[in-house]
A = this chain, B = another copy of it.
């Protein structure tokens, strides 16, 4: 049977291909530590489960297509604390941040259109943009200057007549880059000057360490027409399985178009929206500070461990819960197979996400890896220690092979 060109140009998750090797390592009795997955182990606030248990309707009916009112109002009130003044009608409840992205791309992209995104980027952006018929034009960044990208020099030469949007993740996945207010202002200026949408994926907002918090792109009064924000309860409230997010924009024409698809798919899940409303109502400065401190401890554990590994280079991430590191090896995928198939220390080994999957440009990212620091500091310290031991063993093996060949 024939399949669409757009789906043929997508692929399964690049992390998945290591699953057989992981299963074999486990079957051989080894413990596999995970630096590769974004599932936090932090408890979902009890408010979510309480709200779901208290749901009293006997018929689990459709929610309104734009969302349950208590959820929309809770999101609106949360944004008021970020100096973004929204109406209920500026918000659409979605199946996680993912559906908000899918809606946006369906509304603004036709075949052949382009979206600018800093490379390395979250790989699922590629899937969503390709299934809308368009492509990502990567904004090149460099590990050496911490993957920063918010400059006219890096962005404007890439804009052409098919460019429809600039897509940013702030704080960034996989790089941990946090855009300053000046950088956000500049990106909005560029979007306005070139009549582009500025899509800001802000699902990690509270997770910033040390520096100024990024706030939201929605708080620029002159951004109403251009800014669309993607949000989600997944990371902020450690509720990834709830699949509740939001598409937020003061551009009412955009909301009107997105609502066509929202009505088509009828609604997002009713109970999960009720639970998510309770989460937003439970968001306090104390809760935000607590999760920030917890992830900072995790980040610091990883940073401290990586500094002990000779030849590893990285920038200390400012936000989110990821870190890109350049390893002293030719190919991080080969190292991953080595770690799973040949290496162990006290019966343990480690997995990460090889960097190549975060790049569109062929050949880039081959020596890089993404680490997710979502487990407890003791666990992370051991995982990073295993990475260091594994690199040393791999280098020794390569040196032996070279000697043997010469």
Q: Is A295 an interface residue (CB 8 A)?
A: no
A12-B260 in contact given A1-B251, A59-B41, A271-B271 (Cβ < 8 Å): yes
Contact between B242 and A269 (Cβ–Cβ < 8 Å)? yes
- Asked if A2 meets B243 with Cβ closer than 8 Å, knowing A7-B257, A44-B60, the reply is no
Beyond A41-B59, A59-B41, whether A98 also contacts B243 by CB under 8 A is no
A265/B96 in contact, CB under 8 A: yes
- Do residues A3 and B108 form an inter-chain contact, with CB atoms below 8 A? yes
* Size bracket, chain A contacts: 35 or more
Q: Which residue of the partner chain, among B7, B110, B269, contacts A260 with CB atoms under 8 Å?
A: B7
Q: Which of B11, B53, B195, B269 is close to A243, meaning CB atoms less than 8 Å apart?
A: B269
Complex Cα–Cα for A254 and B8 (A): 11
Q: State whether the Cβ of A268 lies closer than 8 Å to any Cβ in chain B.
A: yes
Q: Does A81 contact B (CB under 8 A)?
A: no
Taking A12-B260, A263-B13, A269-B272 as contacts, is the C-beta distance between A61 and B7 under 8 angstroms?
no
Interface string of A49-70 (1 = CB under 8 A from B): 1001101001111110000000
Give every chain B residue within 8 A of A109 (Cβ-Cβ).
4
B-facing residues in A141-170 (Cβ within 8 Å): 164
A16 interfacial contact with B, CB 8 Å: yes
- Chain B residues with Cβ below 8 Å from A2 are 108, 164, 195
The reply on A48 being an interface residue by CB < 8 A is: yes
Q: What's the nearest-Cβ distance from chain B to residue A405, in Å?
A: 39
B-chain residues with CB within 8 Å of residue A268 when the two chains form the complex: 95, 243
| Complex alpha-carbon distance, A128 and B124, angstroms | 21
* A residues 242-296 touching B (CB-CB < 8 Å): 242-243, 251, 253-254, 256-257, 259-261, 263-272
- 19 extra A-B contacts, CB within 8 A, seeds A2-B108, A10-B261, A42-B59: A1-B226, A2-B164, A4-B110, A5-B110, A7-B106, A10-B257, A10-B260, A12-B256, A44-B59, A60-B241, A60-B242, A63-B241, A95-B265, A96-B265, A124-B264, A127-B261, A241-B271, A271-B271, A272-B272
